[in-house]
Structure 1
């Protein structure tokens, strides 16, 4: 970054600033899944359809994926302190817009505002925290920062569920307003800066074409089911825009010498393969949450606080395993732990295929805890492998791309499982209803049944179809991890970090 903050490592001021930066990191990550345990309440008050409920996740993620690559350039161009405070103000604006929303589109728009601010807050919070540390402690700080991000993701639904159950869903967003005010005040009092003497260079063409491709693809996946896919002109336009954006980006990368994705990164086999695995990890990390909480809340009828509480075992397994991996001696080959983490995640997803409408909370808690352990092992292990053979001069750019892979994986993962969920629900509903004919004894009396009884029967069939569709989506997550598992065989043995 060309614009550097004037923060002296050590002292009470530096510790307070680091605490504020880490608090912002936790806050922005916790707000991503915060509404997940209260979807039924949000849908009811905003007349939100099932497919629009999926936008609550994807809008935040896609917006973060847009703003994250440009965060460092903004800080270098306009000043870290100024950009950081603007992002905090934008984040609060998104929170307030969310609480004031009266329609589903207004709420999704508020989530987009939150996501744009979150994509800036995340990398700049880490930059501020790093500047408050002595040089000899910065190398090990990344693991702690990632643990806080994960803790926010896994604890958000339990916090949101408890607040929604006792006070309604809108107050869950007010919780971050005083936190944001505190962070803003600490930054205003303790952080000083100097602006860059020369405006930094940035590959706007590469960034713009990649963003065009990503957002058009996201819109295609989110809107396709509602608009009957390619029967709609909008879907055709989004498909062509996505293809054009990605085509121009690939051509730009292959033909240009200057772009925000360094081609030298693609020459390191460990980094490329590990980034693909990390993409798959992101695909599973949030998609599981996007499926499990609605299953418990909407299909099985669990209250929001119970739905949120059932995410705690997964979070404890994930964060606990992540922290233990940080204490692992360097002599252990991390490739073994990459393979072990993938195997544990696959086993946990296989357990999820055994979910039943008659089950209690324990199968969800056990499968979630096991998956959390697998993800907690896989994440630090694959990160270590990715950067162990990478040229140290490429590590800052590599870190940005590596983290973006997880964000992009989560964005597309949630969109894809939501898409197949609605398709499978409709298909299973038709299959179940086709067996309810007057010639079957169980349905013979339906011809004279009152309308209320028929509505109850249809609701029961819809619930059964939706539950089967959820299980089918867990199969997708299982297949994704199985597909990337052979990549472990092609990883080179990690070398000592330089």
Structure 2
């Protein structure tokens, strides 16, 4: 029996389930970038260091990547209704703990709890929504579900910035509690319990070894800068754990017939190449937000409301282009659309290299909108190419891997750009400070003055300049990530329109 099968509710009950599932989909996606525009407030109240900011995003994303592959197995083994309601309760617990946090570690723990629940809520919400529809409508409804996820990512920073500026940053999490309670009420009353008649199989060794490798790598990247990399015993342990996990996974995959991430998926050229491109898309999608909002909020001094609003052009371009590209006529070769999307994203990141401390809001809005349009065009097109030549019986498993590629791309991308950002900022600060001598005008004036406020002001100015140059360097890394996968596009096979 399918673990996500639902008993036949009334039409009103099915509609209520569908809307509640869509609301849960939006809730778990909007909470990912929600703190983005309010980082200055969160840092100040929690005494959070600059290199800990990335944990706000990677904690949520990494936790969701861990639980997402086992969501369907949990529902089949323990029951869809039970698992879904428990995930909602855990998500609400994460929201409450975020509002009560007083230290960076406590806040990161709350984000881990939210992310772990999100990884279960995402696929099960999709299953619930699709099962309330006739089979003929499910394919088109999948576009709506993806658009809702993208809408949550697009609107999260603006909602968080607005709420934080008016009521305080903790209220952005308080607002999620009544929404979660409403979803629990609807699901508790209308969702029937279903689970598999027999215990479903799952490759826990493959899943566990792969997860160990990813967690070790994530912790290494997140903690390395703070602990001076391999001079720290903790970093060495995390590196060994990651290497061991990936080694065990590789051996297990080569020596067993059935396992997590089956071999058959890697025999389809279109799927493999598209998954790599989708990984690069994830590498750009959220790290851009993780760089842009702190640049506007902390370096340029924009208020959180303005910072959040400047993410809206990117979000509007992303969602609008996605909906248009998803309805593109079949006669148009999607490989051409994929190439156009990759080129547009790379061009938008190239425009970001021209940001200046003296600019107004328009360059950010234009570059963000173009990048959003490129990503929105790319997502449905690369998905169509990925599954066009794949055996239909493998599509459910392939969908999980395909989505994991985007999630891992984003979480590793955020960790990598944060690491390089702080390394580059320190190097740039030293380079700029090295040119400041008593023989220059500003240096001579300060040398003649013993006033420490003047020295502190100069150091703050140098730090701001170094940080801004480092942000531009990370936009270059994101641009190179898209350019690196561009040569893969010509190797994609033309999809069969009948597929």
Q: Could you say which residue in structure 2 is the equivalent of 1:478? A: 479
CA offset at residue 458 of structure 1?
0.5
TM-score, with length taken from structure 2: 0.99
Q: Tell me, in whole angstroms, the C-alpha distance in 2 between the residues paired with 1:215 and 1:449.
A: 50
Q: Tell me, in whole angstroms, the C-alpha distance in 1 between the residues paired with 2:498 and 2:290.
A: 36
Q: Tell me, in whole angstroms, the C-alpha distance in 2 between the residues paired with 1:423 and 1:311.
A: 26
Q: Which sits farther off after the overlay, 352-361 or 447-456?
A: 447-456
Q: Could you say which residue in structure 2 is the equivalent of 1:492? A: 493
**Root-mean-square deviation (CA), in Å?**
1.0
Q: Which runs of 5+ in 1 are unaligned?
A: none
Q: Could you say which residue in structure 2 is the equivalent of 1:463? A: 464
Q: Could you say which residue in structure 2 is the equivalent of 1:162? A: 162
Q: Tell me, in whole angstroms, the C-alpha distance in 1 between the residues paired with 2:495 and 2:16.
A: 36
> Secondary structure of 1:390's partner?
coil
CA offset at residue 143 of structure 1?
1.5
Q: Could you say which residue in structure 2 is the equivalent of 1:243? A: 243
Q: Tell me, in whole angstroms, the C-alpha distance in 1 between the residues paired with 2:318 and 2:255.
A: 41
Q: Tell me, in whole angstroms, the C-alpha distance in 2 between the residues paired with 1:283 and 1:418.
A: 13
Alignment length (residue pairs): 498
> Secondary structure of 1:199's partner?
coil
Q: Tell me, in whole angstroms, the C-alpha distance in 1 between the residues paired with 2:10 and 2:395.
A: 25
CA offset at residue 375 of structure 1?
0.3
Q: Could you say which residue in structure 1 is the equivalent of 2:148? A: 148
CA offset at residue 449 of structure 1?
3.8
Q: Which runs of 5+ in 2 are unaligned?
A: none
Q: How does 1:127-142 map to 2 (within 5 A)?
A: 127-142=127-142
Please say if residues 88 and 180 of structure 2, whose CA atoms lie closer than 8 Å, have aligned partners that are also in contact. Answer: yes
Please say if residues 26 and 152 of structure 1, whose CA atoms lie closer than 8 Å, have aligned partners that are also in contact. Answer: yes
Q: Could you say which residue in structure 2 is the equivalent of 1:11? A: 11
Please say if residues 82 and 193 of structure 2, whose CA atoms lie closer than 8 Å, have aligned partners that are also in contact. Answer: no
TM-score, with length taken from structure 1: 0.99
User: Cα–Cα, structure 1 residues 315 and 414, in superposed 2: closer, same or farther, change >3 Å?
Assistant: same
Q: Could you say which residue in structure 1 is the equivalent of 2:453? A: 452
1:438 is aligned to 2:458: no
Q: Tell me, in whole angstroms, the C-alpha distance in 2 between the residues paired with 1:394 and 1:141.
A: 20
CA offset at residue 194 of structure 1?
2.8
> Secondary structure of 2:53's partner?
helix
Structure 1: which 4+ aligned runs deviate by more than 3 Å? none
Please say if residues 73 and 202 of structure 1, whose CA atoms lie closer than 8 Å, have aligned partners that are also in contact. Answer: yes
Q: Tell me, in whole angstroms, the C-alpha distance in 2 between the residues paired with 1:182 and 1:331.
A: 44
Please say if residues 5 and 192 of structure 1, whose CA atoms lie closer than 8 Å, have aligned partners that are also in contact. Answer: no
Q: Tell me, in whole angstroms, the C-alpha distance in 2 between the residues paired with 1:247 and 1:230.
A: 20
Q: Tell me, in whole angstroms, the C-alpha distance in 2 between the residues paired with 1:497 and 1:401.
A: 24
Please say if residues 3 and 72 of structure 2, whose CA atoms lie closer than 8 Å, have aligned partners that are also in contact. Answer: no
Cα offsets for 1:208-253 (capped at 9, x unmatched): 0000000000000000001101111111111111011001111111
Q: Could you say which residue in structure 2 is the equivalent of 1:98? A: 98
Q: Tell me, in whole angstroms, the C-alpha distance in 1 between the residues paired with 2:193 and 2:234.
A: 46
Q: Which sits farther off after the overlay, 184-193 or 334-343?
A: 184-193
Q: Tell me, in whole angstroms, the C-alpha distance in 1 between the residues paired with 2:81 and 2:357.
A: 51
Q: Could you say which residue in structure 1 is the equivalent of 2:328? A: 328
CA offset at residue 10 of structure 1?
7.0
Q: Tell me, in whole angstroms, the C-alpha distance in 2 between the residues paired with 1:341 and 1:322.
A: 11
Please say if residues 81 and 191 of structure 1, whose CA atoms lie closer than 8 Å, have aligned partners that are also in contact. Answer: yes
> Secondary structure of 1:140's partner?
helix
Please say if residues 3 and 193 of structure 1, whose CA atoms lie closer than 8 Å, have aligned partners that are also in contact. Answer: no
Please say if residues 64 and 120 of structure 1, whose CA atoms lie closer than 8 Å, have aligned partners that are also in contact. Answer: yes
